[in-house]
Chains A and B, each alone.
With several copies, the nearest count.
Chain A
C-alpha cells in the first residue's frame, strides 16, 4: 500500500497543485480527493483486467 500511496500522491500533486503557494486551497483539496478516487478506480480496472488475463 506504501507504493500505491507514493504513486497516487505524486500523480495527483502534479495534476492538482501545479503552482504550490503558501497553503492548499479548498479547490486544490477537492481536486486531490477526486484524483485519489479516480486513481483507485483506475487501479481496480487495471487489476480486474490483468487478473482475468492471467487466470
Chain B
C-alpha cells in the first residue's frame, strides 16, 4: 500500500511536470533542456510543498501560544 502511494505521487508529479516541461510535438529523444526542466520541476515542487507545510505549522504554533 505504501508502494501504491509512492506510485501515485510519481504519477502526479509526472503529469504536473509533463505539462510544464515537454515540447508540444514529441521529439525523438528526451532533450537535455527537457530533462533538466523535469528535474528542477520535481525538486522545486518538493521545496514548495515543504515551505508551505512549514508556514502552516508556524501559524498553528502562533495560534496555540
If over half of B's interface residues share one DSSP class (helix, strand or loop), that class is named, otherwise mixed; here it is: helix
Pick the residue among B17, B28, B52 that contacts A42 (CB under 8 A).
B17
Query: How many residue pairs at the A-B interface have CB separations less than 8 Å?
Result: 116
Interface size class of A (residues with CB under 8 A): 35 or more
Binding site for A on B (CB under 8 A): 7-11, 13-18, 20-22, 24-28, 30, 34-35, 37-49, 51-53, 55-56
Binding site for B on A (CB under 8 A): 3-5, 7-13, 15-17, 20-24, 28-29, 31-39, 41-43, 45-47, 49-50, 53
16 examples of A-B residue contacts, CB within 8 angstroms: A9-B45, A13-B16, A23-B47, A24-B44, A31-B25, A35-B26, A36-B55, A38-B30, A41-B30, A41-B35, A45-B38, A46-B10, A46-B17, A46-B38, A49-B42, A50-B46
